[in-house]
Amino acid sequence: MKRIFSSVLASVCVLTAMAQSSGYPIDPVTFTKVKVAEDSFWGQRLKSSREVTIPLAFSKCEETGRYENFVKAAKQMHSAVNLGYEVGGFSFDDTDVYKTIEGASYVLQTYPDAKLEAYIDSVLTIVAAAQESDGYLYTARTMNPLHPHEWAGDTRWSKEEVLSHELYNLGHMVEGAIAHYQATGKRNFLDIAIRYADCVVREVGAGEGQACVVPGHQIAEMALAKLYTVTGDKKYLDEAKFFLDKRGYTTIRDAYSQSHKGVLEQDEAVGHAVRAGYMYAGMADVAALTGDRQYIDAIDAIWNNIVSKKIYITGGIGSTSAGEAFGANYELPNRTSYCETCAAIANVYVNYRMFLLHGDSKYYDVLERALYNGLISGVSMDGGSFFYPNPLESAGEHHREPWFGCACCPSNISRFIPSVPGYVYAVKDNNLYVNLFMTNTLTSTVSGKEITLSQKTGYPWNGNVLLSVDKTALKGEMTLKIRIPGWVKGSPLPSDLYTYEDGVKGGYTITLNGSAAPGEITPDGYFTITRKWKKGDTIEMNFDMQPRIVKANDKVVADRGRIAVEKGPVVYCAEWPDNEGISVRKVLVSKNPDLKVNRSSILGGVDMISAKAQAMLFDADGRMSLKDVELKLIPYYAWCHRGSGEMSVWLPQEFRAFSTYTE
């Protein structure tokens, strides 16, 4: 008994120690160390997620039979005869449970809630009962092994590369289990996930008697890499690398699932955008954990392709509904754009990992754009309704939904939003990175010594940020690295895909204790200050934030003759409720639009922008005339909160732009 106890204790100690290491050159500062003010821009969204989105997601798991699937699987396992359960829904419905537990676990780390914790435990009891004796857990097969889900195949893994999603389910299970373990210290979910992961390691591989398959829908790669960092067991990293190394060399070889060629040979983002994003994140994880230079080179090339040819001004990715996929280079239609919410989340994951790998601020320029625009547009400000695709233009055919039958996007939102505070800071040796700007308090360690900083700002509505050293145990120097956003430096993105066309010269000032800060912008894009910090030190940043006019590269056919408007990190759109009597899709913005900012109480309080324009009007005989109007714009993320109607991000400034309305 003593030996068993020692073994268990050693395992727990390994888990505790390893959970602190990411494997990347730069270490994340976990969101549990960052307390975001509730009355701030992000504080309000965190509150909506905690009070609305996550409870809604759990209730939908109950209403739609997600839990019942686990119950049926458990009953079937203990029955001597086939109970004849009809297997409906999607083969990945189990993941809605796992993702919601993940988001709730993030919440528990900052807002302890005994009732919520008990509820999760009750759900995990149901989940555990559905796990087969060898660790396999896939209700779409287990609840009726004679007639499993039509996507599942007759045997385990036989349809994995097509539609079964067995390994996709594993990925979300592992991600949720790690979050739950780190939040509660309990192993009830982690042990379930480890047993399934061990089953996969035994049964899926290139060895004799194994199924030589790769995930049809990626995420297991990044999840298994994370499980390795938590447990220290290298077999999980090896399995993640096997999934990547073998991709393009198994039965299924097509661009849709990024299996058209080996991953190290790929240099263009293709296929299903969510699958792609998760795979690229997994490639970055494996590159970091193994030091494999080939993986780093491959993911660098793919990232460059996305940022220079395949990303929307909103940070959205995936231009076509056919396969929810990337289009060709520069194929970025507006009304038919897909930009799935899950793809925006995947885009954040990729750029976050690229930053941790390379330490360059340009990755955060992409991350921030996706975060403030194409990602949060996918959930209403009250947290209770959702978009699946996020188009950049609408004729009124879009509206927010309270849920979806294929619920990947709302359940993904429920797990992502609570993790946002974890993207604000990062640490490497004696370097502390400040990557995002939101009112918060940080308590973390640098070089093993504790430091407490507070940040106060009205961002994203203004560019004034006050950073204060509230407490420090540091004895030596610390290097503070403050990200200077690309939009301040005159670049919407780190490529020539979009450019500012208004001639405005932005700028910034940074002071330390009231005087010019003794630092400089280093090649990594950060304003870098190295000194011995003391309690009471203050850094004030002022980023010039004014409306800007953006044009797309002329190779983007859909945007020729059009402009977009943004202010700071926020992209704007014209929407019908603010422009009564005119079509926002049939206006011509003036060459000198005289952009003006007005604070408004609508939509939870936003900065609105007005622009001089001419509306196209038609009389009874179809004759066109132009009328001078003041076109009003709102943040893109807030559109369709007041009913369905016309909306447009890219606004015509030339008559040639109207030819693309039939896209």
Question: Which phi and psi (to 5°) does residue 334 adopt?
Answer: -100, -60
Q: How confident is the model at residue 660 (pLDDT cuts 50, 70, 90)?
A: low
Nearest C-alpha neighbor of 354 from the set 273, 297, 433, 431: 297
Which pair of tokens denotes residue 162?
């097509």
Burial of 518 per CB tally in 10 Å (0-12, 13-18, 19+):
exposed
Q: What pLDDT does 170 receive?
A: 98
Q: How confident is the model at residue 9 (pLDDT cuts 50, 70, 90)?
A: very low
| Cα three-residue angle 648-649-652, rounded to 5 degrees | 75
* Residue 347 in this model has a pLDDT that exceeds 70: yes
Region 71-94 average pLDDT? 97
Q: How confident is the model at residue 195 (pLDDT cuts 50, 70, 90)?
A: very high
DSSP annotation string for 39-86: TSHHHHHHHHIIIIIHHHHHHHHHHTTHHHHHHHHHHHHT-SS-----
Report how far Cα 99 is from the mean position of its chain's Cα atoms: 13
How far apart are the C-alpha atoms of 326 and 306, rounded to whole Å? 9
The type of residue at 286 is V
User: Which residue, chain included where needed, has tokens 């941790």?
Assistant: 356
Cα dist. 359→254, 314, 420 in Å? Answer: 33, 23, 19
Burial 180-203 (b: 16+ CB within 10 A, else e): bbbbbeebbbbbbbbbbbbbbbeb
Nearest C-alpha neighbor of 481 from the set 421, 429, 536: 429
Cβ atoms of 444 and 450 closer than 8 Å: yes
Query: CB count, 10 Å around CB of 88?
Result: 11
Count of residues for the chain?
A: 663
Cα dist. 123→30, 49, 71, 216, 286 in Å? Answer: 26, 20, 10, 27, 32
Which neighbouring-strand residues pair with 1? none
Burial of 291 per CB tally in 10 Å (0-12, 13-18, 19+):
exposed
Which pair of tokens denotes residue 657?
């732009």
Residue 520's H or E segment, with its range, is: strand 520-521
Region 436-464 average pLDDT? 97
Summarised one tens digit per residue, pLDDT across range 384-401 is 999 999 999 999 999 999
Cβ atoms of 196 and 131 closer than 8 Å: yes
Query: CB count, 10 Å around CB of 206?
Result: 12
* Residue 133 in this model has a pLDDT that exceeds 50: yes
Question: Which phi and psi (to 5°) does residue 556 adopt?
Answer: -85, 95
Query: CB count, 10 Å around CB of 158?
Result: 14
Query: CB count, 10 Å around CB of 400?
Result: 18
**324: annotated active-site residue:** yes
Q: What pLDDT does 657 receive?
A: 80
Summarised one tens digit per residue, pLDDT across range 366-383 is 999 999 999 999 999 999
Nearest C-alpha neighbor of 32 from the set 115, 107, 137: 107
Work out whether strand 508-512 and strand 515-516 pair parallel, antiparallel, or are unpaired. Answer: antiparallel
Which pair of tokens denotes residue 335?
């009304």
Burial of 491 per CB tally in 10 Å (0-12, 13-18, 19+):
middle
How far apart are the C-alpha atoms of 541 and 485, rounded to whole Å? 12
* Residue 356 in this model has a pLDDT that exceeds 90: yes
Q: How confident is the model at residue 16 (pLDDT cuts 50, 70, 90)?
A: very low
Cβ atoms of 99 and 415 closer than 8 Å: yes
Least confident of 14-18, 115-119, 463-467: 14-18
Report how far Cα 573 is from the mean position of its chain's Cα atoms: 22
Nearest C-alpha neighbor of 369 from the set 323, 419, 306: 306
Summarised one tens digit per residue, pLDDT across range 492-527 is 999 999 999 998 988 999 999 999 999 999 999 999
Region 416-421 average pLDDT? 96
Cβ atoms of 325 and 272 closer than 8 Å: yes
Burial 11-26 (b: 16+ CB within 10 A, else e): eeeebeebbeebbbeb
Q: What pLDDT does 1 receive?
A: 39
Q: What pLDDT does 626 receive?
A: 87
Region 24-29 average pLDDT? 95
Q: How confident is the model at residue 622 (pLDDT cuts 50, 70, 90)?
A: confident
Which pair of tokens denotes residue 196?
């399934």
Summarised one tens digit per residue, pLDDT across range 199-222 is 999 999 999 999 999 999 999 999
Q: What pLDDT does 7 receive?
A: 35
Q: What pLDDT does 624 receive?
A: 82
Residue 541's H or E segment, with its range, is: strand 538-543
Region 540-569 average pLDDT? 97
Which neighbouring-strand residues pair with 610? 596, 632
Q: With pLDDT > 70 as the criterion, what percentage of the chain qualifies?
A: 96
- For the chain, the C-alpha Rg in angstroms (whole number) is 25
Task: Map residue 473 onto helix, strand or coil.
Answer: coil
Q: What pLDDT does 659 receive?
A: 56
Q: What pLDDT does 619 receive?
A: 82
Cα dist. 91→64, 171, 197, 278, 529 in Å? Answer: 14, 14, 18, 19, 52
Cα dist. 94→16, 63, 341, 353, 488 in Å? Answer: 28, 14, 19, 27, 43
Cα dist. 340→95, 259, 336, 375, 399 in Å? Answer: 17, 21, 12, 9, 14
Summarised one tens digit per residue, pLDDT across range 154-182 is 999 999 999 999 999 999 999 999 999 99
Q: What pLDDT does 233 receive?
A: 98
How far apart are the C-alpha atoms of 270 and 265, rounded to whole Å? 13
Q: Over the chain, what is the mean pLDDT? A: 94
Q: Which of 339, 408, 573, 640 is catalytic?
A: 408
The type of residue at 288 is A
Q: What pLDDT does 656 receive?
A: 79
Q: Which of 160, 161, 324, 566 is catalytic?
A: 324
Report how far Cα 316 is from the mean position of its chain's Cα atoms: 10
Q: State which of 28-37, 157-166, 616-625 shows the largest mean pLDDT.
A: 157-166
DSSP 161: I
**408: annotated active-site residue:** yes
* Residue 661 in this model has a pLDDT that exceeds 90: no
Q: How confident is the model at residue 21 (pLDDT cuts 50, 70, 90)?
A: low
Q: What pLDDT does 392 receive?
A: 98
Which pair of tokens denotes residue 97?
């449970």
